[in-house]
Each structure stands twice: as C-alpha cells, then as structure tokens.
C-alpha cells in the first residue's frame, strides 16, 4: 500500500505533462516553432509565416498574435511587401503553391460577406474597409489602391485574396488574385499596428 500514493502522484504528473505538451503543440498562436521572416515599412511591422494554412487558419494565427493579415493600402506598401517577399524572405515556392500551380501568400482582402464587395478585413471582424466593387471589370472604391491581375474572377467561388509570387499566363508577378480560402494552403503575411 505504501507505494501506491507516490505511484499515483507520478502517474498523474506524467499524464498532466503529456496533456500539457499536446496542448502546447496545438496552440494556434504558438509562433516560436515556426519559420518566419519579419520586416518593417513606414512604421509598421510585418511577419511572413512560412507555414501553409487555409485563409481562415491564417487569420486565426494573426489574431492570436495581436495582428491581422496584411492590408495593402498604397502602392508603396505593395512594393515594400512584394520586394521583401521576392528578394529577401527566402521562400521555397513549392511550399506555398496554390491549386493553379503558382506560389502565392495570403493577404487580408476578401469578399466573404457579399460577393464582389471586396474589403480589407485581415482579422475577419465586424470592421472592414471596402476597396473594390465588382469583378475583373469592377471599380475602385473611394480611390483605394488595388493591384489585381486579370482578377477577381470568382472562378468556382473564390472569396479571399492572395499576392502571386510567380507570373502566370494571365497575371504578372506580384499581382493579386482571388482564390478559394479552403482549397488552398499558403504562407501568409501578418501586419501589426
Ligand atoms: Ca497596411
Ligand atoms: Ca477588421
Ligand atoms: Ca468572390
Ligand atoms: Ca481568381
């Protein structure tokens, strides 16, 4: 009988340890183990997470870390982010390939709430800013910047935005494309205020 209590205590401790380490590795906001690349532009910090995720998962990561998926508000911001990604971030294109065969990264644009109403909402909350209305032949809203390729075309119902890191037959490198956020797992860029 003497040894039962200590054994129970040790067993309980082991169970707790295993449980907590499982929980640790499941945490959505555990960025320490991930490959990342950080940079700044115009007083903002950005973090590229080199882990291919669905768009919604990428948003969850960003929000859990006090950030949002990058919202590109000017040509200068587009150039800064694209230059960092294409020149310095050391991205393995094969790891962030989309279903159409070109490398891309998620940004915070989407038309989830209403088709063809494109907003920046990189934390997927109630606050967004519309920047585009319509499809390929749509129009900018309130003079907002955009860098669409021959997109958005909502091909098969595509409601989230990525930046291409490779040219395609219809889009130059760096252009924006709408994709299905669940059918594609991509690296993603977080922006911090
Ligand atoms: Ca921004
Ligand atoms: Ca928002
Ligand atoms: Ca759409
Ligand atoms: Ca598209």
The average pLDDT across 78-97 equals 98
Of 66 and 19, the structure prediction assigns the larger pLDDT to 66
Q: How far is the CA of 41 from the centre of ligand 1 (A)?
A: 9
3-class state of residue 41 by DSSP? strand
The average pLDDT across 37-58 equals 97
Distance of CA 139 to the CA centre of its chain: 25
- Are the CB atoms for 128 and 121 separated by under 8 Å? yes
The domains located in the chain, with CATH, are 33-192 (3.10.100.10)
Degrees to nearest 5, angle at CA 84 with 186 and 134:
55
Q: How far is the CA of 43 from the centre of ligand 4 (A)?
A: 32
- Are the CB atoms for 164 and 103 separated by under 8 Å? yes
The average pLDDT across 158-174 equals 97
* Residue 87 in this model has a pLDDT that exceeds 60: yes
pTM: 0.85
The per-residue pLDDT for range 134-149, each reduced to its tens digit, is 999 999 999 999 999 9
């Amino acid at each position: 009988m003497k040894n039962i209590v200590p054994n129970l205590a040790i067993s309980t401790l082991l169970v707790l340890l295993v449980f907590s380490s499982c929980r640790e590795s499941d945490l959505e906001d555990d960025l320490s183990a991930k490959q990342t690349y950080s940079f700044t532009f115009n007083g903002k910090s950005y973090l590229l997470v080199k882990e291919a995720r669905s768009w919604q998962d990428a948003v969850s990561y960003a929000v859990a870390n006090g950030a949002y998926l990058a919202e590109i508000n000017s040509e200068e911001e587009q150039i800064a982010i694209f230059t960092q990604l294409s020149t310095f971030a050391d991205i393995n294109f094969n790891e962030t390939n989309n279903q159409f065969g070109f490398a891309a990264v998620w940004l915070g644009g989407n038309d989830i709430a209403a088709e063809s109403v494109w907003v920046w909402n990189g934390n997927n909350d109630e606050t967004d800013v519309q920047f585009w209305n319509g499809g390929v032949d749509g129009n900018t809203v309130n003079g907002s910047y955009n860098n669409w390729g021959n997109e958005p075309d909502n091909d098969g119902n595509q409601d989230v935005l990525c930046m291409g890191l490779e040219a395609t037959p219809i889009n130059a490198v760096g252009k924006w494309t709408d994709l299905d956020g669940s059918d594609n797992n991509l690296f993603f860029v977080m922006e911090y205020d």
